Amino acid sequence: MHAELVRVALHEVDIKIVAGARMHVLQWRHNLLWDEVLLDGKRQASSHGLFNREKVYGLVFGRDADGRGGDQVMLILDPGYGAYDYTHNGQKLKGVRLESVEGTLVSYGSLDPKALEKPATFADWMKKSMGMDWGADPTRRPN
């Protein structure tokens, strides 16, 4: 099984899942009073309310008529909205993660294990947090 993020926006997440010869589309939608998870356009789960909605969804797809078999996945969302991102024209979710029995299929943002790694030096921290290189580049010649 293989998955990749197609879109991450403020109220929408789209993930393409390829299992064998079949492709599925997993979607999360945030509405005013409810959130919903869709698989191939059909609602699989929903969470209602103004606050404290569900952030972890367990899904099984590809079962036979008797309810046996299928692929199990777990969708985890971090909707704690971050600061305005000028490079992507708006806000996005902080993190998305899709897990299967075999391991992590997709991880993004705050739910990516790489996001938890601490920088070794101040220059690494500046580059990671602000996108700045600190100090002179030894390969660059002065003008």
Phi first, then psi, for residue 57 (nearest 5°) are -125, 130
In a domain, 15, yes or no: yes
In a domain, 126, yes or no: no
pTM over 0.85: no
- Tens of pLDDT along 65-95? 787 888 889 999 887 755 454 554 456 678 8
Residue 67's pLDDT is what?
74
How far is the CA of 128 from the CAs of 50, 132, 136, in angstroms?
34, 8, 17
What is the mean predicted confidence (pLDDT) over 86-114?
78
Which candidate, 61, 55, 93, places its Cα nearest to that of 76?
55
Residue 3's pLDDT is what?
93
Question: What are the residues facing 78 on neighbouring strands?
Answer: 95
* Domain housing 90: 2-108
The answer to whether the beta carbons of residues 39 and 130 sit under 8 Å apart is no
Residues 6+ apart with CB under 8 A from 36: 28, 29, 43, 45, 46, 47
pLDDT beyond 70 at 120? yes
Instruction: Give me the CATH number covering residue 13.
Output: 2.40.128.180
Which amino acid would we find at residue 22?
Answer: R
C-alpha to C-alpha distance for 110 and 39, rounded to whole angstroms? 24
Residue 135's pLDDT is what?
58
**Domain count across the chain:** 1
